[in-house]
Structure 1
Amino acid sequence: MIDYETYTLPNGLTVVLHHDPQRTVVSVNVLYKVGSRNDPPGRTGFAHLFEHLMFEGSENVDNFDDVLQMAGGENNAVTGADTTMYYDVLPAANVETALYLESDRMRQLRFSKKSLRTQQKVVVEEFKETCLEEPYGDVFHHLSELVYRVHPYRWPVIGQNFQHIEEATLEDVKDFYYRYYRPDNAVLVVAGGYDREAIAGLVDKHFGDIPATDASLVRPTLPEEPEQTEPRAKVVRGDVPSPVIYLYYRTPGRLDDSFHALDVAAFLLGGGRSSYLYRKLIRDSDLFAEVAAGMNDTYDYSGFMIDARPSEGEDYTAARTALFSAVDDFVREGITQEQLDKTINRLEHVNQFKQLSVSNRANDLAFYASFDRLELVNTETQRYLDLTVERVNEVIRKYLCTDCLSTIDYLVED
């Protein structure tokens, strides 16, 4: 059980406090409800670029990292499809340093053409290294466009192409900042061994007078993705060492009550050496060298993904047929009570281990607070415990179906 208290400042900032007096450190997380889904038109990858810009200095701080390191801390950030989160871990006695730093860049980022050019080069180079130079690096470009037709999930977090990043202007930066990087679009989490009597006052001191979003800066409504009613497929050829097959079944968003059953099914189907696909396609047949399955957890729509690499020298068509046949068998046979019990026991163990870290607790609190379901930090495990074999099998048969499927055959270039 994670104890917490939460409240909202007059400017709209959601504050979540988790006090653990046995900790000598504190984690300060600031999550902004903005991700690649909010990239401006013609500026895909912008949310990721902006994450980099947030370390380029603010009104009173020239170098964010130097100040935090002098206080004994470390920091990082991550941009996703739905959110961007910044997190700092430092000695609890120095919690005010992190609050000061995060509030200063929320209050007023320092804008300059020089910093923009610097980070554009960094992000473009990252794009080229990960998407153009790595084998299969562009697979999510192809897959996202195949799965989504109108929703901005149709491009990956890093963007559709690096030209969109290169063409970003300082005006784009300012508009994005004042539209999305405001307290009424953010969650502040403080977790660890802070002074419980002083923390609320420190939060109000540093964040309380930051203005909310100007009413004229409307956040665009995202389009609703039409239902997928037939299978989709694409063949990609590239300079890769071997072919790989990607299967993606579109599913409802993270808060849908089918998520937990699908998550369990993904683990049983392709979550390690005891999984169904590993036993059928690697251990018992040698047709595949690698196979895995997993769920993504994006907010509006999610997906159940399988990726499988046939063994060298095996006939690709035969291996592909065996993969589809194995998935069909899994859906038809369903799972057993023994399999469900083992998976739930493993999940409980992983969660207990995960919660030993105060940083992980802060991350979870920020995540659940971002979609106004903070209570799930303590109750979501029960949703897994309440699963029945019948429910999991019902969900598998509903969503692991041909009409929900998009397939990428990533083949070796001729």
Structure 2
Amino acid sequence: MIKFESYTLDNGLTVLLHHDEQRTVATVNVLYKVGSRNDPPHRTGFAHLFEHLMFAGSESVPNFDDALQLAGGENNAVTSSDYTLYYDVLPAENLETALWLESDRMRKLRFSERSLENEKRVVVEEFRETCLEQPYGDLYHHFNSLIYREHPYRWPVIGQEISHIQGATLAEVKEFYYRYYRPDNAILCIAGKFDPSTVRDRIAHWFGRIPASALPERPAITAEPEQRELRHLTVRADVPSPVIYLHFRTEDRMHPDFPATDVLSFLLGGGRSSLLYRRLVRDTELFAEVSAGINDNLEAGGIIVEARPSEDVDYSLAREALFAAIGEMIEKGINHEELEKVINQLEQRNHYREANISSRANELVFYALLGEPDLINTEMDRYLSLTVEEINRVARKYLAPTRRAELEYLTLISEA
């Protein structure tokens, strides 16, 4: 049982406290409820650009990284489709430094044309290196728009076009900041060693006077319609070998079927004992690599399969074998022993995460984003209660061809 406290400041900031006296460090996580789904359509990649700008200095801190390193800490950040998360880890006795730094950039970011141009160049270079200059680098530019037709998930986090980043203006940056980077749109989590008798006062001191957003909310994000047909796209590019990517539309992250579809993805392609690995790699050697995992977007998630045929095999034969193996999961299903093995693996993964204080903080803010921080203690129970019948039901429902989007990433030389 992971014990924590949760409360809200008058300005709307959600606060989570997880005290662990046995630790020597403290972690400070700040999650902002803004991700690439909130990018303006002509400024895709904007949330990711803003992640970089948040390290470019605030009113009292010219360089965020330097100040934190002087306190013996380290930090990083990640932008997703649904949120942006900043996290700091530092010696427990220097917790106040992280509170000062995070509150200062929430209160007043330092805006300048120079810092904007610098970060735009960094992000554009990242776009070129990861999306344009690497094999399969533009995968999600094609795949996302195949999977999603209406929702902003249809563009990748890094952005759809370089020009969208290059055209960003300082006025747009300020508007984005004052709309989304406010306490009423944020979750603060402190985990590890701290003084429980003073921590609330210190949080109030640093964050309590930051005003909530004064800007009106943007129009509601368009919901993604239910997928009712098979979707297919072939991309030919200068890549070393063909790869098949599949996406099977599932449901929102809080849907009751989520634990079952998560387990289904493990059974399908989560390691050497999974069905796809056994049928396609171990037994036939038709594929060099195959894997499956869950896409846990807050809305309209899915099971993603990546399959790379072996060299010199008949591509059409390999592709047929892939769908035959998926068909086996649908038609024959699984048995109790297979389910128990996966559940044991998930329990082990959960215990490992619980042992890591940073993982605890990450999970707490994520579950708070979902509106149910107690899930950190209760969601595993939903997995443990799963039955063979339930897994087989979701396999039949969600692995149906009408829920499938297939991207064939082929070499420039025609495949047979």
TM-score of the superposed pair, with normalisation by structure 1: 0.99
Matches within 5 A, 1:190-201: 190-201=190-201
Q: CA deviation at 1:224?
A: 1.1
Hey, what does 1:30 align to over in structure 2? 30
Letter in 2 for 1:160: Q
Q: Counterpart of 1:127 in 2: which secondary structure?
A: helix
Hey, what does 1:398 align to over in structure 2? 397
Matches within 5 A, 1:295-314: 295-314=294-313
Hey, what does 2:209 align to over in structure 1? 209
**Cα distance in structure 2, aligned partners of 1:370 and 1:142:** 29
Deviations 1:2-28 (A, max 9, x none): 100010000000000000011110000
Matches within 5 A, 1:5-404: 5-214=5-214, 216-404=215-403
Letter in 2 for 1:114: R
**Cα distance in structure 2, aligned partners of 1:278 and 1:342:** 16
Q: CA deviation at 1:232?
A: 0.4
Q: CA deviation at 1:161?
A: 1.1
Letter in 2 for 1:381: M
TM-score of the superposed pair, with normalisation by structure 2: 0.98
Deviations 1:155-182 (A, max 9, x none): 0101101111111110110010001000
Q: CA deviation at 1:134?
A: 1.0
Letter in 2 for 1:117: E
**Cα distance in structure 1, aligned partners of 2:280 and 2:5:** 49
Q: Which runs of 4+ in 1 moved over 6 A?
A: none
Q: CA deviation at 1:35?
A: 0.2
Q: CA deviation at 1:217?
A: 2.6
Q: Counterpart of 2:135 in 1: which secondary structure?
A: coil
Letter in 2 for 1:40: P
Q: Counterpart of 2:396 in 1: which secondary structure?
A: helix
**Cα distance in structure 1, aligned partners of 2:325 and 2:348:** 29
How many residues align? The count is 413
Letter in 2 for 1:291: V
Letter in 2 for 1:124: V
Deviations 1:110-161 (A, max 9, x none): 0001000001011111111111111111111111101111100000101101
Q: Counterpart of 2:235 in 1: which secondary structure?
A: strand
Q: CA deviation at 1:359?
A: 0.6
Q: Counterpart of 1:291 in 2: which secondary structure?
A: strand
Q: Counterpart of 2:307 in 1: which secondary structure?
A: strand
Deviations 1:330-356 (A, max 9, x none): 111111111111111111111111111
Deviations 1:278-308 (A, max 9, x none): 1111111111111000101110111101110
Q: Counterpart of 2:247 in 1: which secondary structure?
A: strand
**Cα distance in structure 1, aligned partners of 2:366 and 2:225:** 27
Deviations 1:382-406 (A, max 9, x none): 0100101111111111111010000
Letter in 1 for 2:184: D
Deviations 1:354-383 (A, max 9, x none): 111111100000100112111101000001
Letter in 1 for 2:235: V
Q: Counterpart of 1:210 in 2: which secondary structure?
A: coil
Instruction: Report sequence identity in percent.
Output: 61
**Cα distance in structure 2, aligned partners of 1:297 and 1:41:** 22
Structure 1 gaps of 5+ residues are none
Q: CA deviation at 1:253?
A: 1.2
Q: Counterpart of 2:301 in 1: which secondary structure?
A: strand
Q: Counterpart of 2:355 in 1: which secondary structure?
A: coil
Q: Counterpart of 1:318 in 2: which secondary structure?
A: helix
Q: CA deviation at 1:219?
A: 2.8
Q: Counterpart of 2:285 in 1: which secondary structure?
A: coil
Q: CA deviation at 1:41?
A: 2.6
Q: Counterpart of 1:62 in 2: which secondary structure?
A: coil
**Cα distance in structure 1, aligned partners of 2:361 and 2:72:** 19
Letter in 1 for 2:303: F
**Cα distance in structure 2, aligned partners of 1:89 and 1:212:** 26
Q: Counterpart of 1:52 in 2: which secondary structure?
A: helix
